[in-house]
Amino acid sequence: MTGYDATIDWDDYWADADEAATERASPGSHHADDVLSAFVAETGAESVADVGCGAGAATVPVAGAHPAVDVVGYDAAAPVVERNESRTDLPNLGFEVGRLPDFDPGRQFDVVFCYFTLPYVRDVDRALAALFDAVAPGGSLVCNYTTPAAREFLQVAADDPHAHAERPLVFDPDSYTERWAAVLDGDSVCSAERIESVLGVAPESAFETVERPDIEWAWHHFPLVRVPKPR
């Protein structure tokens, strides 16, 4: 450990979250929601789990775009699950509490989507295994992970977040080291090789399945991959 032992308490975060806090919790949603929807369309998936869904930035759009697809959003924080349920009336969409690394929905899905959630999980191996267990044979785990380059990028602001308040991914200087503790400690740093070692299947870029012409820098620091599950 490097001293950043705490991690952000998402129950507290969502209990008091206003619109600005909601935006900070899902900073990359504009990268994710259309990719997930396109992936579902391309693969013909009939069920989707969004693990670490937050306020539903990707979950709600994919359910709205695909009314015949069963979509469930899972999040560790009960307050945001309750808020999502109160704000959603799509018949094919539900929300439940589910926490990594001990995620066990009691069923399998054609697509298990986990976006910007693994960076907050210290036991990445166990989390990956749990996510893959929830994928139905022939389905896919679609997730992004934290590279060593991302950790180096985040470490620049770690000593004085307020001095780097305008830097990407700082969001809230007061909670910066708590928010990114698992990355700063190196616990949640991952690689394609590690994913293959844990799951026994080599990940491939999600953009091998769907086109995304506007590849942003974030994809290099937090690659979005597809891990297909054999039938």
Whether the pLDDT of residue 35 is over 70: the answer is yes
Give the other-Cβ count within 10 Å of 152's Cβ. 11
Q: Quick check: is 71 in a domain? A: yes
Please count the structural domains in the chain.
1
Q: Is residue 35 part of a domain?
A: yes
Q: Is the pLDDT of residue 5 over 70?
A: no
**In angstroms, what CA-CA distances link 71 with 14, 110, 213?**
22, 10, 26
Reported pTM: 0.92
CATH of the domain at 121: 3.40.50.150
Residue 111 confidence (pLDDT) above 60: yes
pLDDT band at 1 (very low <50, low <70, confident <90, very high): very low
pLDDT digits (tens, 9 = 90+) for 151-200: 999 999 999 999 999 998 898 899 899 999 999 999 999 999 999 999 99
The answer to the question of residue 132 being in a domain is yes
Top-confidence residue, 77 or 22:
77
Segments forming the whole domain that contains residue 25:
10-147+188-228
Domain-located, residue 30:
yes
Q: Does residue 4 have a pLDDT over 50? A: no
Percent of the chain residues past pLDDT 70, beyond the cut: 92
153 lies in some domain: no
The three state secondary structure string of 31-58 is: HHHHHHHHHHHHHCCCEEEEECCCCCCC
Element (H, E) at 83: helix 78-87
Name the token pair of 128.
């990956």
> Is a pLDDT exceeding 80 seen at residue 112?
yes
In a domain, 124, yes or no: yes
| Inside any domain, residue 141 | yes
Whether residue 178 lies inside any domain: the answer is no
